Amino acid sequence: MAQHETDKVRTVTQDETPDAGWVKLVEAVGARKDQRAFSQLFDHFAPRVKAFLMKSGADAPLAEEVAQDVMATLWHKAHLFDPERASVATWIFTIARNRRIDALRKSRRPEPEELTWGPEHEPDQAETIALQQESEQLGKALATLPEAQRLLIERAYFGELSHSEIAAETGLPLGTIKSRLRLALERLRQEMK
């Protein structure tokens, strides 16, 4: 087989599940540092990560900085991605959430001229551990959902698509999307107890 044929990057097609396509792109980045695969991942996820961060309270400059950091992490750590543990979207948005926590911690640190005398206040480790455990529990709960429900949850909450946008993207009736999301959320609530 010619070298140029092995370097081709597949794009996500309508015939495969969206996550299967994303997994192949992440694997291409992890295995070969494939720039075209990374570009497709970046074009899709970077704006969604930024929107997610802004929705969670970050201002635009911080959201942009954290989104860039998340995508740089994807570039450098794609080889660590395990599709058995989480979908690509869940993995990326978990990185984003963790980077947001790090940014909040960093922003709370006083500047040298603001330092007071006395013992330093330690960051709240319990909150950090609780968030990490919640994230792991959510990842496991998402993995128990049927694929159709999981993909809708990822589009609605991680991809920040409206129900109408999901209907247009998937071709499913709006009522079907709403009922599947409702069922998926109920299952997640049960799993998270």
Q: Left, alpha or beta for 123 (phi > 0: left; psi -120 to 50: alpha)?
A: beta
Give the count of beta carbons closer than 10 Å to the beta carbon of residue 152: 26
* pLDDT digit string, tens, across residues 40-77: 999 999 999 888 888 877 788 888 888 999 999 999 99
Please say whether the beta carbons of 156 and 145 come within 8 A.
Answer: no
- For the chain, list the domains and their CATH numbers: 1-109 (1.10.1740.10), 132-193 (1.10.10.10)
Tokens in use for 137?
Answer: 């529990």
Let me know: does 94 contact 139? Beta carbons within 8 Å. yes
Model confidence at 12, pLDDT cuts 50, 70, 90, reads very low
CA distances from 106 to 72, 75, 91, 101, 123 (A): 19, 23, 23, 9, 10
Question: What does pTM read for this prediction?
Answer: 0.51
Q: Per-residue pLDDT tens for 74-119?
A: 999 999 888 888 889 888 988 888 888 887 777 665 545 554 554 5
Count other C-beta atoms under 10 Å from residue 59's C-beta: 10
